[in-house]
Amino acid sequence: MARRQKTVQDEPDYTENIVDIDVTAEMEGSFLEYAYSVIYSRALPDARDGLKPVQRRILYMMSEMGLRPDRGHVKSARVVGEVMGKLHPHGDTAIYDAMVRMAQAFALRMPLIDGHGNFGSLDDGPAAPRYTEARLAASALSLTDHLDEDVVDFVPNYDNQIMQPEVLPAAFPNLLVNGSSGIAVGMATNMAPHNLGEVIGAAQHLIQNPDAQLDDIMRFVPGPDLPTGGKIVGLDGIRDAYATGRGSFKTRATVQVEQLTARRTGLVVTELPYMVGPEKVIEKIKDAVTSKKLQGISDIVDLTDRNHGLRLVIELKNGFNPNAVLQQLYRYSPMEDSFGINNVTLVEGQPRTLGLLELLQVYVDHRIDVVRRRTAFRLGKKKDRLHLVEGLLIAIVDIDEVIQIIRASEETAEARQRLIAVFDLTEIQANHILELRLRQLTKFSRIELEKEQEQLRQEIEALEEILNSESKLRQLVSDELGEVAAKYATPRRTILLESEATGALTGATAAPAGKKGTKVPVQLEIADDPCWVILSASGQLARTANQDELLDGGQRVKHDVFTSVVKTSARAEIAAVTSLGRMLRLQVVDMPALAPAAGVPNLTGGVPAREFITLAKGETLVALAPLNAVLAIGTARGIVKRVSPDYPLNREDWEVISLKPKDYIVGVTAAAEGDDLVFMTRQARFLRFPAATVRPQGRTAGGMAGIKLTEDDEVVFFGAVDPNDDAAVVVTIATTAQALPGTSPGSVKVTALEEFPAKGRATAGVRAHRFLKGEDQLSLGWAGHGPAKASAASGVTRSLPTEHGRRDGSGIPLSQTVEAVGPSLS
């Protein structure tokens, strides 16, 4: 085995030189350099154009690449590479993230980049830059226009090879319009977006009135205008922020109450607070429901799509107040969020906290300086061109001599000197003449040059007036701002509310009014308060807690006639009776509540009764009735029955009367022992008899004879009346059997009930209406407390004749077709 030999290391050929450094001083210096770099070159926006360095470099480079709105999109990776290689030597991720934010409509009030592809959402990030495409938005052109006219200073890039603008001209106040956010070292900024039209209006006012105060500016800018809409509740924090640069406000989602189904009410969210996504809201709501913090929510569904935008449906359990549930959602979910304003921005390279007035003043000063420099640049260009035109005109006058001098010269320098000496030209004019082509020295060119000379003099005079007049300069800046507002301004999206009390839900039970700025506690579950359930002639079903809504009067919607009104309570049960003898149990709390309104409700807040009740073919809903009262039922074949309230407790529907073939229920009413029951037939036969003569029966009984009918007759009305009511009337409307419904005017007659004597049950009764020529039957009939009214074809409630006619007399011709007759509910 070979023996290992020990290697000897060579001595180092250098001399160590260790320098002792004070760690405290080194840390302090290095940290200050790092902090300054982060503050000045990364995290804080410039107050003049509202952009951070990376944003400014992206927009400038895209402008240099010609990515205008009228050009095609290019890959985002190409833009990122150009920016990173020429202006921003940092990671491509930081550049792409900044580029993505400028393209997101939910992040900026006025996006600056037109993105094509997946640029992310509030819940998901964007696609990789190799998959997305971009170009400048039209609004970004207003930020980069006139960069070639010496409007701003240019500074070298990181390797001193390319020049880049220190700030953009910014034709609108981008910092206030789009806001900004960033975290620097020892400081941070968070600025809210605003409405372009409002901000420009304030800037124009400040330009015309340099001594304007904050109150004057806030008349134009009342508050932020967030890209996602929503509501801002409480304006005190906004005023503090506008005054000092620091403040906070609450943002809330936009929520409406909708009737999802006949039995289900839901809260529909169409706008969320700024930078809050629907997935985050759904997750927080589910967590709060699981932990029992939230009550009354049965399901939550996200129906958001590209066509209809945000639509978050929160389904409520029956019996819960939507206002109370919404208050819980504000407390335990991101549907209410707080936005803290911290207006830290760079002014002359130094971070400062500015209020609204100061921010506008910095921008106005910058814009005035931009327009002044642009005007001076254009003035210099015009003067230079005029100088050349004047030299050309001199040369054209003696063109032959000019040509002779040039031909006689040995070289260009000699020709230049001789032209200067002979025609008293400047060196610039002489060089320009030497560079001309012969075809430019024609007579026609001379005419054009003289016109151009005159035009240039006028333009120079106008530009000098602007530079020499501060008022004209300010007016020009104001006019240009107005043009931007006219081109890009959009209506306000965010609603401003002084206090929480003014932001109550619409479409739900209204909360009680409280003092301004105070929360009004709302009961979570709907109390078992008295209410009325209403069924209309058009089949609409609803409940109302306002007794004033049942007053008879005012204009009604067409067909909106009450056929049943049951007094009950919000958590009680009532019955619905169909024409085929079925009785169904209904939960009052499931029915939609009408919003409070003055006068008679039109039931537009109701739902069709068929959503609650499944009806067979040919079956109709006749009436609503209480479950705890003795009901009287009348059929088309003249059968009467009083039903004892011994209904089954474990069933939702049952048979309330056994009907014979081809028979059906005409009317259902709660009749007391002292009431009279009334039948009215198509052949104008009228019968009233005491309800006590009909003994109550079980629900399976078939009833007993009520009125005696002929073979071609049938009952058109059945009800109950108070025999001691002096105001009770009988209304009959006659027509002809051959006429289509609503085509024959017919006649109407109103008769006092006392004109009709009581007869025995199972008799034919007495005649109620004498038919006129062409009339052969009753189309409608009704008996009850007067005065009576009818709903006409126009939907307007019309009073019927108040003078009671004779029992066997004829009626008065109607001026309009009467569609339905309903009782006076006053």
Query: Residues 524, 296: contact at Cβ < 8 Å?
Result: yes
Query: Residues 218, 483: contact at Cβ < 8 Å?
Result: no
84-135: per-residue pLDDT in tens?
Answer: 999 998 889 999 999 999 999 999 999 999 999 999 999 899 999 999 999 9
Dihedral sign, Cα of residue 462, residue 464, residue 469, residue 475: positive
142-151: per-residue pLDDT in tens?
Answer: 999 999 999 9
Same domain, 264 and 384: no
Structure tokens at 408: 């006689």
- pLDDT category, 29, cuts 50, 70, 90? confident
Residue 242 designated active-site = no
In a domain, 56, yes or no: yes
CATH number, domain at 278?
Answer: 3.30.1360.40
What pLDDT does residue 823 have?
A: 39
∠ CA 227-175-160, nearest 5°, is 125
Q: Which of 196, 211, 238 is the last residue of a domain?
A: 196
Position with higher pLDDT, 825 vs 213: 213
Query: Residues 52, 42: contact at Cβ < 8 Å?
Result: yes
Q: Which of 34, 36, 131, 158 is catalytic?
A: 131
376-387: per-residue pLDDT in tens?
Answer: 999 999 999 999
Residue 410 has pLDDT above 70, yes or no: yes
What pLDDT does residue 781 have?
A: 87
| Number of domains composing the chain | 3
- Residues 255, 237: Cα–Cα separation, whole Å: 23
Same domain, 85 and 152: yes
Q: Which of 238, 790, 361, 364 is nearest to 562 (CA)?
A: 790
- pLDDT category, 775, cuts 50, 70, 90? confident
- pLDDT category, 10, cuts 50, 70, 90? low
Which of 223-237, 597-611, 637-651 has the least mean pLDDT?
A: 597-611
Same domain, 429 and 473: yes
- pLDDT category, 511, cuts 50, 70, 90? very low
CATH number, domain at 109?
Answer: 3.90.199.10
What's the residue count for the chain?
826
Q: Which of 460, 479, 498 is the last residue of a domain?
A: 479
Residue 459 has pLDDT above 90, yes or no: yes
In a domain, 749, yes or no: no
In a domain, 620, yes or no: no
Which of 312-316, 322-326, 806-810 has the least mean pLDDT?
A: 806-810
Average per-residue pLDDT in the chain? Answer: 84
Across 153-157, 424-428, 691-695, which has the greatest mean pLDDT?
153-157
Give me the mean pLDDT over the 283-296 stretch.
90
Query: Residues 193, 108: contact at Cβ < 8 Å?
Result: yes
What pLDDT does residue 627 have?
A: 87
263: containing domain: 254-334
74-97: per-residue pLDDT in tens?
Answer: 999 999 999 999 999 888 999 999
Which DSSP string corresponds to 43-80? Answer: IS-BTTT---HHHHHHHHHHHHTT--TTS--EEHHHHH
Same domain, 271 and 405: no
Same domain, 56 and 189: yes
What pLDDT does residue 818 have?
A: 43
- pLDDT category, 742, cuts 50, 70, 90? low
Same domain, 402 and 445: yes
What pLDDT does residue 650 have?
A: 81
Give me the mean pLDDT over the 202-216 stretch.
95
Residue 514 has φ and ψ, to the nearest 5°, of -130, -175
Same domain, 373 and 327: no
- Residues 590, 21: Cα–Cα separation, whole Å: 80
In a domain, 150, yes or no: yes
In a domain, 686, yes or no: no
In a domain, 452, yes or no: yes
Structure tokens at 459: 């333009």
Same domain, 171 and 96: yes
Same domain, 42 and 113: yes
Q: What is the largest CA-CA distance in the chain?
A: 145
Same domain, 441 and 388: yes
- pLDDT category, 788, cuts 50, 70, 90? low
Same domain, 318 and 385: no
Q: Which of 315, 334, 353 is the last residue of a domain?
A: 334
Helices (H), 304-355: 322-332
Across 24-33, 279-288, 518-527, which has the greatest mean pLDDT?
279-288
Give me the mean pLDDT over the 183-190 stretch.
84
Same domain, 374 and 328: no
CATH number, domain at 394?
Answer: 1.10.268.10
Query: Residues 328, 295: contact at Cβ < 8 Å?
Result: yes
In a domain, 392, yes or no: yes
In a domain, 133, yes or no: yes
